[in-house]
Amino acid sequence: MILPGATLGMLGGGQLGRMFTVAARTMGYRVIVLDPDPDSPAGRMADEHLHAAYHDDWALEQLARSCAAVTTEFENIPAETLHRLAEHCPVRPSASALETTQNRIREKRFIRDIGLATAAFEVVEREEQIAPAMQAIGGTAILKRAAFGYDGKGQYVVENVEQAVAAFRAMDGVPCVLEQRVDLACEVSVVVARAEDGESLCYPVAENLHRNGILDTSIVPARVDEAVAGQAREMARRLADALDYIGVMAVEFFLTRQGELLVNEIAPRPHNSGHYTIDACVTSQFEQQVRMVCGLPFGDVRLLSPVVMVNLLGDVWGDDRPHWEALLKDPSAKLHLYGKREARPGRKMGHFCVLDPSLEVALERGRTILSRLAPGG
């Protein structure tokens, strides 16, 4: 076990790295963040911030020399960086796990190959593949770039070949996945923690509502049958086992109106839909990440209260600052801001959680608070 007092490395300086850093330092660890942004949210909370590129030789030497273990906050870290660091200390998750999940083509084939269902998809790497791909899908589809897409970016809903060609060209002809648009009942997600010995634990299933492709609200426990929730947890464990994953990861699912549970995507890290764990579970997903990286026993994943998590995007700021008093006067509302200097439309600036014995009451209060935060609201 890697015990408090040791130094942990974090590749990535955004809000997920920031919340990991807070959890690790609270537990008594030192944290070094590597991120090219000189004003990164995680870097400002860390013991040390290496302001350098992820492949910078000097920065990687510093991490290798100082860190007892290294982890990541997002999947697009160069695999070579992880391979180099793994020669000196544990890197969790592994380079191979990230290589599988950082590309939609590899990820969807992996999911299919281990026997789990996804929405029907076709690979599009050249323009001449679009027409047969659309014919195979047979209806409305979503063209998604295979790499570097997030929060609805790099995705286009297409109804016909002409629209698909235009979308492909708009993305500069990069490799894509053409995915069938499914008849959704809802979207759910599971955060799963897996240890080095292969044991795993799942957090309660979250029901997720999106707006413009960005997560808006997570409702926990999800309003689905327990059989569906149990199936989601089991599928998440199967994916973590197949990846030989060590750490915390999230799996997003589509639940169709026909009752079929489809894997949408894997996030090899803590996840936005798991932020509720900070306030509503015995152990947050970020403390759990520290535990898995350091080889410690699992923390309790028990849900202490029904909870609703609401994302705060830069849109809420407008030309002023939000009316924080509308949130802070509610004693069961918990505010988390990410320390980002500039509020821009669509940018994740923070979130808040509302806890209540009644899930419907928590959801209504969350919606009311959000409506009152915006200047003029």
pTM: 0.95
Query: Which comes out higher in pLDDT, residue 319 or 373?
Result: 373
**What's phi and psi for 127, nearest 5 deg?**
-60, -35
- Edge-first strand listing for the sheet containing 121-124: 121-124, 176-180, 141-145, 155-158
Residue 331 is classified by DSSP as T
Region 329-340: mean pLDDT is 96
pLDDT at 375: 76
pLDDT at 149: 65
CA-derived radius of gyration, the chain: 21
User: 288 to each of 205, 285, 292, 305, 360, how far by Cα in Å?
Assistant: 16, 5, 6, 19, 28
Query: Residue 365: pLDDT above 70?
Result: yes
User: Which of 149-153, 206-210, 276-280, 313-317 bottoms out in mean pLDDT, i.e. has the lowest?
Assistant: 149-153
User: Using 50, 70 and 90 to split pLDDT, how confident is the model at 76?
Assistant: confident
How crowded is residue 90: how many other Cβ atoms within 10 Å of its Cβ? 18
Residue 5 is classified by DSSP as T
Region 338-358: mean pLDDT is 95
Taking the C-alpha atoms of residue 103 and residue 121, their distance in angstroms, rounded to an integer, is 14
Q: Which H or E run includes 319?
A: none
**What's phi and psi for 70, nearest 5 deg?**
-130, 145
User: Using 50, 70 and 90 to split pLDDT, how confident is the model at 377?
Assistant: low
Residue 325, class by beta-carbon neighbours within 10 Å (0-12 exposed, 13-18 middle, 19+ buried)? Answer: exposed
Give the model confidence (pLDDT) of 8-17 as tens digits: 999 999 999 9
Strand ranges for 127-183 from DSSP E:
141-145, 155-158, 176-180
User: Using 50, 70 and 90 to split pLDDT, how confident is the model at 136?
Assistant: very high
Give the model confidence (pLDDT) of 254-274 as tens digits: 999 999 999 999 999 999 999
Region 183-202: mean pLDDT is 97
As a whole number, the mean pLDDT across the chain is: 95
- Tokens 């947890």 correspond to 233
- Tokens 């590309």 correspond to 103
How crowded is residue 280: how many other Cβ atoms within 10 Å of its Cβ? 24
pLDDT at 376: 66
Region 232-241: mean pLDDT is 98
Region 176-181: mean pLDDT is 94
Taking the C-alpha atoms of residue 216 and residue 116, their distance in angstroms, rounded to an integer, is 27
Taking the C-alpha atoms of residue 95 and residue 109, their distance in angstroms, rounded to an integer, is 18
User: Using 50, 70 and 90 to split pLDDT, how confident is the model at 374?
Assistant: confident
Asked if residues 253 and 194 have their Cβ atoms less than 8 Å apart, the reply is no
Question: Which domains, from first to last, does the chain contain?
Answer: 7-91 (3.40.50.20), 120-180 (3.30.1490.20), 184-373 (3.30.470.20)
Give the model confidence (pLDDT) of 207-235 as tens digits: 999 998 899 999 999 999 999 999 999 99
Query: Residue 151: pLDDT above 70?
Result: no
Helices 161-170 & 130-137, crossing angle to 10 degrees? 130
User: Using 50, 70 and 90 to split pLDDT, how confident is the model at 318?
Assistant: confident
Give the model confidence (pLDDT) of 24-53 as tens digits: 999 999 999 999 999 999 999 999 999 999
User: Using 50, 70 and 90 to split pLDDT, how confident is the model at 100?
Assistant: very high
pLDDT at 20: 98
Query: What sign does the CA torsion over 308, 24, 189, 158 have?
Result: positive
Region 88-111: mean pLDDT is 95
